[in-house]
Amino acid sequence: MSTSRIAVVIGGASGIGWATAKALAAEGCTVTIADLNTEGAQARAKELGDQHNAVTVDVTDEASVQQLFEQIGRVDVVVNCAGFGGVGLITELPADQFRAVIDTCLVGAFLVIKHAGQHLGEGGALVSLTSLNARQPAVGMSAYCSAKAGLAMLTEVAALELGPRGIRVNAVSPGFVHTPLTEPVLSVPGVLEEYVENTALGRAGTPEDIADAVVFLCSSKASWITGEVLDLNGGAHMMRYPNVIKHVMNLAGQ
Ligand code: NAI
């Protein structure tokens, strides 16, 4: 990767985004960490060094996303890690909670691709974070599964639309990765064990497992790859997803 590349990592203050920001900086990119968490983004940018920056952004707010890309100007690499989930059975889930997940994980991803797509040029690369749940349904995760499946298809449409301008659009689909997002779920007895049993490689992922693949997809070594939704899960996509709700109910004694 050339030393002059300008990268933005949205959701870069935590977990997979932070690991990706560090990995891109190590490859010589100048990185902007953009996140809803202003203090977190500033602290992370400081940790990376003087040439790196922090910007506050809310991917659910189009004006905020537009302003982010106008402020950065030329950009070569965009990685969107903003996202969250939640659990609840469909028959009990408030519609507002369903909408909130769709708003961040799918509409937010659309807004990032829309505005990044106006600033990326020939040789540019965009990677979104979808999920194993884009292809594997999970009891109690209707909103997240729907949003991430939508994002997988959005990635393919965007790759078709931006390809003629030399811009590559890909996504990665992690299984369970240890981050602040998954800590509450992975600490429920039985969840991690059931995930690991349903992998070929016998472990959950690390943020670095994902960052390595994202850096590859953003690099010139991936110059013929676009519209790809890459499974990163230790082989879990060949088996079945844990029943998270069952383990939560067991914990609650129900
Ligand atoms: P995390 O919670 O550690 O980091 C997410 C970051 O996104 C946080 O810094 C948060 O402040 C930021 N963010 C949230 N909403 C935002 C918004 N509206 N605008 C801007 N920033 C916002 O989560 P993690 O685990 O690093 O996840 C990153 C991405 O990877 C998410 O899209 C998640 O759905 C996806 N993913 C994670 C998996 C895991 O096991 N950790 C598995 C599959 C997918």
Q: How much is the pLDDT for 2?
A: 45
- How does pLDDT run across 87-139, given as a tens digit for each residue? 999 999 999 999 999 999 999 999 999 999 999 999 999 999 999 999 999 99
- Does residue 3 have a pLDDT over 90? no
pLDDT interval class at 4 (50, 70, 90): confident
Mean pLDDT value of segment 176-188: 94
State how far the Cα of 15 lies from the Cα of 25, in Å rounded to an integer. Answer: 16
Residues belonging to the active site: 144, 148
Angle between helices 62-72 and 108-119 (to 10 degrees): 30
Q: How much is the pLDDT for 61?
A: 98
pLDDT interval class at 1 (50, 70, 90): very low
Q: How much is the pLDDT for 252?
A: 84
Do the beta carbons of residue 41 and residue 35 sit within 8 Å?
yes
Name the residue with the closest Cα to ligand 1, atom 34: 83
Mean pLDDT value of segment 34-55: 98
- Spell out the alpha helix ranges (H) of 27-90: 38-48, 62-72
Residue 113: which of 164, 170, 165 has the closest Cα? 170
pLDDT interval class at 238 (50, 70, 90): very high
Residue linked to tokens 């992370």: 44
Fold entry, domain 6-179+206-235: Rossmann fold (3.40.50)
Is the shortest distance between the CB of 144 and ligand 1 below 6 Å? no
- Single-letter amino acid, residue 222: A
Q: How many Å lie between the centroid of ligand 1 and the Cα of residue 83? A: 4
State how far the Cα of 50 lies from the Cα of 166, in Å rounded to an integer. Answer: 31
State how far the Cα of 79 lies from the Cα of 171, in Å rounded to an integer. Answer: 9
